[in-house]
Amino acid sequence: MSFVVTLISNPAKPAVTQDLIEKVSALLPATPLIKELKAQVAADLRVDNCAKPEGLESSVYSILADAPVDVFIQPQNGRRKKLLIADMDSTMIQQECIDELAAELGLKDKISEITERAMRGEIEFEPALRERVALLKGLNTDIIAKTIETRITLTPGGKELVQTMKVNGGYAALVSGGFTSFTQKIAEFIGFDENKANTLLEEDSKLSGEVAEPILGKQAKLDRLNQLTEEMNIALEDAIAVGDGANDLAMICAAGLGVAFHAKPKVAAQARAKINHGDLTALLYLQGYSYDEFVTS
């Protein structure tokens, strides 16, 4: 059996030093084969013909101490995935779209508090979405385009993640509890093959305060993951899922590699992989891609 320890830092704050690599190497049951994925940013430490020692994760985290480095330990085989299924808000983009729309009505603080509770899993997603959308009633729909242009920023590494996986035969699906008026644009910007989300209902070019039913929530995200693996004739093990909120948990736990990305505590506690420091290129390093394999155009 071969396993690999991957160390990842944020490209904007490289922290995978040679000293750190040597300290982690000393914890392993055999001398690892070290592959630099990007200098000072990410590295693989592969150990062949050895089982992963019990308690290795906690030992590595002890070595990391306060270093801004994410770590993941997995079998070497089967790392590269054929399907990416991703959340949008606070994952592929750096904001929550409904909170930014609320800002146009002076309601951002009120709505963002509900959003935060829903993402933490403290309240159910579907009724929380209906409550927040109702507060947007009367907002001009042309504000949506303005919000995308002036308030929404892509999360660093997202384009590289999607484009690199696609060039290598992967399929990319954006599945959001947000709104199609946002996902359609974001999916186009980044290069997703498909996008699914909720639909804001309109009356006379204004938001009606209602969202089309049924609401796309946690179960719908999981359902789309299962549908895609069936359509592509691949196993769930061949999928990587990423998100930050409680409504992402089902797909994160079902996918072969589920990643909690700068996630809420409940999500981070249950996901196989946690990225607390890196950007979205971390998901490529988790799959064993080197920086020189990234598609950056």
Q: In the sheet that 33-38 helps form, which strands lie side by side, from edge to edge?
A: 33-38, 42-47, 3-9, 69-75
Could you tell me the two tokens for 105? 């009505």
Catalytic site includes residue 193: no
Catalytic one of 70, 89, 244, 248: 89
Query: Is 244 among the residues known to form the active site?
Result: no
CA distance 41 to 253: 27
70, 87, 99, 279: the catalytic one is 87
Q: Kindly report the CA angle at 48 between 47 and 53, in degrees rounded to 5? A: 55
Answer whether the bond into residue 75 is a cis peptide, omega within 30°.
no
Among 85, 77, 83, residue whose Cα is nearest residue 235 = 83
Q: Which residues are catalytic?
A: 87, 89
